[in-house]
A and B are shown apart, each in its own frame.
Chain A
Amino acid sequence: MKLSKSFAVALAATVVAFGASAQSDPGLTDKTIKIGMFGPLSGNSMAYGFDVINAAKMYYDKVNKEGGVHGRKIELVVEDDRCNANDLLAAVKKLVEQDQVFMLNGGGCSSAVVGAREYIDRMKVPLVMQAASGDGALYPPSRYIFGALSISQYAVGGSIVEFASQYLKAKKIGYINHDDAYGSWNLEAARFQAKKNGVDLSVESINPTLTDVTAPMLKIRAANPDVLLIATYDRPASLLVKKALELGFNKPIVITVNGTADTKQLAANVGNKDAFKNVYTQGLLADVPGGPKLKWVYDMYKSYYPELAAKPGHPTTYMPEGITPAKVIVEALQKIGPNPTREKLADVLANTNLDTGITAGPIVFTPTDHAGQKSAIYMKFDGESETLLPGVYRSSWTYAPIAK
């Protein structure tokens, strides 16, 4: 049977068009690359998302003003995940399926972002997290998910033991953590670090809702450690510092980032400056809040958002953490070249080693470890201000898959 000439031309054109579109991932045009962002923009946890996303937006805008990435401007679609797993998954699905984004850059709440892992793996869309540590989605590693650009819980535990043994010269360490997933992760790395450094670890694990911390604090005091490490959330951390003073525990106390989101409130909750004679806090940025190394970030925020910057409580503590993943993404896209694909992006991200100047340590992704930031700085906190101590303390823990 002879095909008519016009039919043959139409058929050939269809095949060419189909072939061309099959080679190009969603979210890409000649002029734009679409990134889907999500985070808690409302509700009680908006501190982990609102200004973090604002920071990312301002960085992407700066890149666009400088010409974009290989001639493509970065186009953003932003969704509110309200820091809960259901809303986060709905936001991610919308970004991927309706908005057809090329990649995802979001997630301020670890417990929520874990819920999207299976979908992201199935859809093969690269995700670079924002403020979330996201340990539950990072181990075992997924090809497409990159996180802990703030710091992972494993690194929190390993780093604080490193600081206690190296800077405070502790041989016997008291460690109070939570009996939840977060607590088990930071404890695993703390134990690893303690064994590596040859120090004893005396552990008390408490429920986050505990009303009376007399029992754990008294047991720690009875164990007579050289240092007490507190790896709990804000409320228990405040109660433990208070109880330490009441029980006459005068050894150094170091509080992880989990419990120091707002040091002013910590001091107000403890209510007695004497409790802070020997207290240290962990930080994951390159400098103390307001310090010279991060001045450019806050100046940039003020110039982009002058009205917000004038309001009390802005920018929020976590704001700089929006820039780190944006920098990592832009660098990866630059490396890929003018023909990016999702698979190429996953490959390039898995070989990242970038000092963003924002976090305590560089962002390092490897094919077997997609948790980016493993270092912390430490500050002496006297109840009013934080003084940066020399050094950056890195966790030695690495992921080892369970043998089958």
Chain B
Amino acid sequence: MTLSDISLFLQQGVLSGLSTGSVYALLAIAIVSVFKTTDVPNFAQGEIFMAGGYIALVLLAAGVSYAAVIPLTLVAVGAITALFQRVVMERVTSSKGVGVQFVIATLGLAYAIKGLVRQTGLGDTPRSLPALVSSDAVPIGDAVLTRLDIAIFVAAVVVMVLIYLMFTYTRIGKAMRAVGMNPRAAQIVGIRLSRIRMLVWAMSGVISAIAALLITPKVLVTPDIAHIAILAYAAAIVGGFTSLPGAVIGGLVIGVVENLVGLFISTNAIVVAPFLAILVTLIVRPQGLLGGKVQVKKV
């Protein structure tokens, strides 16, 4: 490998990794938001992401214009996740369910979504959504990104900033943080827990749908695309499962690490890289990069 190859690989690996990693970061934010507020790791996040892609495809196939497909998809996915929280998760909560029961409920949602998607008649054929931005190449140093890559990164950053602002400066955001810190105390001061949880789930659904609409033109959607949630979980663990900024950093790290491992070690090792990142994090800093103090909770 020559020096110019090394330089090219580094530049391209980092830039492409940031673009893909920003989508992992969005999904990681969705996972962390739900976890921080409800203490539940949502194992259906990948399927929710996939559902966003398929809802958009079905609407397009029905002749709806893409300008309308986008908001309709966001509303639909947000409604599905909010409904799931209201109907299923609240039932588990009121039955004094413990952690593993919530997890099983999310797994049930994952299987239900996958089953429903397979009924759409779209089969296993990989499909794309229309790209909102062209795929024309933009040279950056020795590397090349497309306008779509840049748009994905920018859109993801905008969403992350909006979420940060919401959590920091809005009443709803503060209420969500309060519920996450101490549900009983939040309830005492008049915050309706079920409403806040429903809103958090709706928000995580909308974020996942945004991620799907952004990245589907780049990675294509199939019923198996839900595996992308594994990368989002890796991002959340690396960044810190209780930290939204950590989820962002984790996502970008995973995206870049995947590419650099593929370029400098082996393409066979790309899929292993996120798991190695998880292992290293759990050994060196189990709470993640920005996860605060180590906490051990009984599930």
A residues contacting B by CB (< 8 A) are 43-45, 47, 179, 204-207, 209-212, 214-216, 218-219, 222, 234-235, 238-239, 242, 245-248, 261-262, 265, 268-269, 271-272
Contact = CB atoms under 8 A, between A and B. Distances in A.
Nearest to A234: B126
B155 interface: no
B12 A214 contact: yes
A214 B16 contact: yes
A210 to B, nearest CB: 6
B118 A248 contact: no
A206 B125 contact: no
Nearest to B228: A211
Given A206-B268, A209-B271, A212-B20, 9 more contacts: A210-B271, A215-B13, A215-B270, A216-B262, A218-B9, A218-B13, A222-B5, A268-B127, A269-B127
B100 interface: no
A216 B267 contact: yes
B258 A212 contact: yes
A265 B127 CA distance: 7
B291 interface: no
23 contacts: A44-B118, A45-B124, A205-B267, A205-B268, A211-B219, A211-B258, A212-B255, A214-B259, A215-B259, A218-B8, A218-B9, A218-B13, A218-B263, A219-B267, A222-B5, A234-B125, A239-B219, A246-B135, A246-B144, A268-B127, A269-B128, A271-B128, A272-B135
B81 to A, nearest CB: 23
B140 to A, nearest CB: 12
B288 interface: no
Interface string B266-279: 01101100000000
B202 to A, nearest CB: 26
A212 B17 contact: yes
Contacts of A205: 267-268
A215 B262 contact: yes
B41 to A, nearest CB: 21
Interface in B110-150: 118, 123-128, 131, 135, 137, 144, 146
Contacts of B146: 246
A47 B219 CA distance: 23
B261 to A, nearest CB: 8
A271 B217 contact: yes
B270 A206 contact: yes
B20 A215 contact: no
A392 B132 CA distance: 42
B227 A212 contact: no
A47 to B, nearest CB: 7
Nearest to A179: B268
6 nearest A-B residue pairs (beta carbon): A215-B262, A235-B126, A214-B16, A207-B271, A44-B124, A212-B20
Nearest to B227: A209
A214 B21 CA distance: 13
Contacts of B52: none
Interface in B225-239: 227-228, 231
B231 A211 contact: yes
Contacts of A245: 135
B68 interface: no
B224 interface: yes
A204 B128 CA distance: 25
A269 B128 CA distance: 5
A314 B137 CA distance: 38
Contacts of A206: 267-268, 270
B127 A219 contact: no
A182 B222 CA distance: 20
B270 A207 contact: yes
A210 B217 CA distance: 15
Nearest to B139: A248
B246 interface: no
Nearest to A206: B267
Contacts of A214: 12-13, 16-17, 259, 262
B280 interface: no
B180 interface: no
Contact of B135 (A222, A242, A265): A242
B223 interface: yes
A76 B164 CA distance: 65
Nearest to A220: B267
Contacts of B224: 209
Nearest to A45: B124
Nearest to A235: B126
Interface string B14-31: 001100100000000000
B9 A269 contact: no
B87 interface: no
A276 B112 CA distance: 39
B223 A215 contact: no
B159 interface: no
B64 interface: no
A233 to B, nearest CB: 8
Most B CB contacts (10 A, CB to CB) among A211, A218, A238, A271 go to A211
A271 B8 contact: no
Nearest to B217: A271
A391 B12 CA distance: 40
A177 to B, nearest CB: 10
B98 interface: no
A265 B125 contact: yes
Most A CB contacts (10 A, CB to CB) among B131, B223, B267 go to B267
B16 A212 contact: yes
A131 to B, nearest CB: 15
A269 B135 contact: no
A84 to B, nearest CB: 13
Nearest to A203: B267
Given A44-B124, A45-B124, A271-B217, A211 B5 contact: no
Nearest to B272: A207
